[in-house]
Amino acid sequence: MDLSFSRLLGYARINFTHATSTISLKRKDGSEISLADLCKETTPACKLNPLLFNGHLQTAWTTQDKADIPITYKRKTFESDNTSYAGQFAVDFVVPNSMDPSKVEKDASLPQRTTYYTDQAFGELGSSDSKPMAVVLHGLSGGSHEIYLRYTLAPLVSEEGGWEACVVNSRGCAMSKITSSVLYNARSTWDVRQTVKWLREKFPNRPLFGIGFSLGANILTNYVGEEGSNCVLKAAVVCSNPWNLEAGSLALQRSWIGLEYSKVMGTSMRKLFSLHEEQILKNPKIDREKVIKIKYLHEFDREIQGPTWGYPTEGAYYRDASSTDSLLACRIPLLAINASDDPIAVDEALPYLEVQQNPYAVLCTTSLGGHLAWFEAGGSRWFPKPVTEFLQKMAKEIDLDGTSKAASGGPVAATQGPTFQPMHRKWYVHEKTE
């Protein structure tokens, strides 16, 4: 079929980029399958709404998606266990019978279908359950309430799906409070690290998996890279990861429509600042007069993220917080899904060469889909299908303790002489001395 005609019909080409030989996964029946083949096996054909025939239309339509997917949460607020990142953060747990409308409770101080755990109820959470559990990270200024996130969770946490799940809300998001001058950034892995540690202690029998969307995908990839071979997650999926933040930012600034996307994101972050202004301005390095004039996302990163974390420019922050190099350090099965027409997580920023150097990762790209969109005819979305199929196969068919380690392949292999250390970051915490 002619590619242009195929595009008009909504058919998206699917490409897989990976190492020549990816890791071998042992099935519970004793057979083996490569990570690349598993990803291909669990990725269905991508036929999207032909009226939304490019990334801009697909992305714009996300603002019109009024679908109601009734996921119900209970929130627990944690205090950071690391004084370098003082403050609190909120984790929303999907509750049993989450999609039953009769179970809906209300709390005006929280997003819809979200209420706080009582101390008693939280203390009674069991530890013998062996259900697989997803740890989810949302996109920029989002939260557990986001529709793209609920599209993905719904089939997993249904009675048939059999999963548990929780969403780590970035600080200040989803109507959570900020109790210090520490907001969050594109490499703020400390809260997800504490959450995973707590989950492993509380639910020692549950296999844990990661799901990240957009900025949350970047954070999750950074976390998996930082943990390396010690990562306790069994596998991870990242959707619409922006990967190379500097390349993405410069691409947005090259066109008027790119600047419109940047303006929308900058406005959402400026609103977040306004909600938590008193706490954030406890950092004397932040100039309120400059912040209130912010128009674009890169200006927010210049005036807030730079002073907060000591970066001299937004470019320095982007280069240090990008997850492209982190991909090279991932040592668990990782599936990345991006659309090559994504106007925000742009194609030129995708790690095509890096993923070929790591047998633990596979990059799936579609020729259509936009940013966290992938709308099909009828209004449903395509991306939850490969995400949930991959995770279900990993949890139910793969022997999670039988995954063989790669014997060779780029940075995974033992080498002599100079080596590249992907997780040697430029930003660090100055240790306090007595």
Domain span at residue 163? 12-244+322-400
Is-catalytic flag, 326?
no
Q: Which of 142, 182, 146, 144 is nearest to 271 (CA)?
A: 142
- Residue 66 pLDDT: 87
430 is catalytic: no
Strand extents, DSSP E, 114-172:
114-116, 133-137, 164-168
Exactly one of 80, 214, 262, 323 is catalytic; name it: 214
pLDDT of residue 8: 57
Chain-centroid distance of CA 231 in Å reads 16
Q: Hey, is 114 helix, strand or coil?
A: strand
Last residue of a domain, one of 321, 345, 375: 321
411 in a structural domain: no
Q: How far is CA 45 from the centre of its chain?
A: 23
Final residue of a structural domain among 289, 321, 353: 321
**303 in a domain, yes or no?**
yes
pLDDT of residue 127: 75
For position 217, which CATH number holds? 3.40.50.1820
Do the domain assignments include residue 330? yes
Closest by Cα among 232, 66, 2, 257 to 133: 232
For the question of residue 56 being annotated catalytic, the response is: no
Residues 22, 86, single domain; the answer is yes
Per-residue pLDDT of the chain (434 residues; tens, 9 = 90+): 445 545 557 899 999 999 999 999 999 999 999 999 999 999 999 999 999 999 999 999 999 998 889 999 999 999 999 988 999 999 999 997 766 666 667 899 999 999 999 999 998 887 778 899 999 999 999 999 999 999 999 999 999 999 999 999 999 999 999 999 888 999 999 999 999 999 999 999 999 999 999 999 999 999 999 999 999 999 999 999 999 999 999 999 999 999 999 999 999 999 999 999 999 999 999 999 999 999 999 999 999 999 999 999 999 999 999 999 999 999 999 999 999 999 999 999 999 999 999 999 999 999 999 999 999 999 999 999 999 999 999 999 999 987 654 444 445 554 567 888 999 888 877 654 44
Question: What's the rounded Cα separation, in Å, for the pair 196 and 11?
Answer: 38
pLDDT of 100: 63
Say yes or no: 384 and 300 in one domain: no
Compute φ and ψ for 133, nearest 5 degrees.
Answer: -135, 135
Do residues 196 and 163 share a domain?
Answer: yes
- Catalytically annotated residue among 138, 341, 342, 367: 342
Write down the catalytic residue from 56, 138, 298, 371. Answer: 371
Per-residue model confidence (pLDDT) at position 327:
98
- Please tell me the predicted confidence (pLDDT) of residue 99: 60
d(CA 178, CA 79): 11
Return the ∠ at Cα 170 (arms to 168 and 175), rounded to 5°.
95
* In a domain? residue 423: no
| Same domain (yes/no): 258, 350 | no
DSSP of 337-387: EEETT-SSS-GGGS-HHHHTT-TTEEEEEESS-TTTT-BPTTS-BSTHHHH
Predicted pLDDT of residue 309:
92
pLDDT value at residue 174:
97
Domain check: are 269 and 213 in the same one?
Answer: no
For residues 106 and 207, membership in a common domain is answered with: yes
Asked if residue 254 and residue 187 are part of one domain, the reply reads no
Q: How many structural domains is the chain composed of? A: 2
Same domain, 85 and 133: yes
Residue that is last in its domain, among 293, 321, 349? 321
316 and 328 housed in the same domain:
no
